[in-house]
């Protein structure tokens, strides 16, 4: 059964939480998964959904992409916006600027998937460069993905049906 938009929004929160875990938590989580422990979800949620696996895939994609020079310019813009508390707009602008780069301009990838990849890459880059912005990035990235991509994710059948 396909998840509802509310379930997809919950899934998004979980994925972003795991995406930005501290490195020692990632190592512990990986060891726990290797031991066969399962993740929890809301009652009635899709048993195939695993936010840890999706977050790990996004982390790999994001870390591979954040060498682009546009990241540095977008980071500076985001830092200035964070000081003025307009981070949601700055995050959105940073992600959209990254989507215009050659790295993200691939015809076979849906625009929504490009937004997901760019937001993960930008969010990881900001947090690595400015760890003090971690909580702000988590909040604005969650809002961004839920506002811009949640309906598309719901139509696809949820996060576990999308090939990151």
Residue-wise pLDDT for 35-45, tens only, equals: 454 444 444 55
Q: What is the CATH number of the domain that holds 76?
A: 1.10.437
Residue 105 lies in domain: 5-161
- In order of 19, 118, 120, 133, 146, the CA distances from 75 in angstroms are 18, 13, 13, 11, 22
Helix-helix angle 69-84:87-99, to 10 degrees: 170
86: Cα separation from own chain's centroid: 19
pLDDT reported for residue 37: 47
The low-confidence residues of the chain, meaning pLDDT below 50, are 31-32, 35, 37-43
How far apart CA 17 and CA 55 sit, in angstroms, is: 8
> In total, how many domains does the chain have?
1
- Name the DSSP letter for residue 159: G
pLDDT reported for residue 79: 76
The token duo for 14 is 């979980």
How far apart CA 105 and CA 164 sit, in angstroms, is: 15
Q: How many CA atoms lie within 13 A of 97 on its CB side?
A: 17
The token duo for 157 is 């059948």
């Amino acid at each position: 059964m396909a998840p509802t938009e509310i379930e997809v929004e919950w899934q998004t929160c979980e994925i972003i939480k795991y995406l930005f875990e501290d490195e020692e938590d990632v190592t512990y989580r990986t060891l726990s998964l290797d031991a066969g422990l399962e993740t929890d979800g809301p009652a009635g949620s899709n048993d195939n959904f695993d936010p840890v696996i999706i977050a790990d895939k996004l982390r790999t994609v994001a870390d591979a992409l954040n060498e682009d020079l546009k990241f540095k310019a977008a980071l500076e813009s985001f830092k200035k916006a964070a000081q003025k508390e307009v981070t949601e707009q700055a995050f959105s602008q940073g992600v959209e600027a990254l989507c215009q780069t050659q790295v993200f301009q691939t015809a076979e990838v849906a625009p929504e998937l490009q937004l997901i990849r760019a937001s993960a890459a930008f969010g990881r880059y900001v947090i690595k460069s400015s760890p003090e912005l971690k909580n702000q990035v988590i909040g604005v990235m969650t809002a961004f993905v839920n506002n811009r991509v949640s309906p598309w994710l719901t139509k696809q059948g949820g996060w576990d049906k999308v090939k990151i």
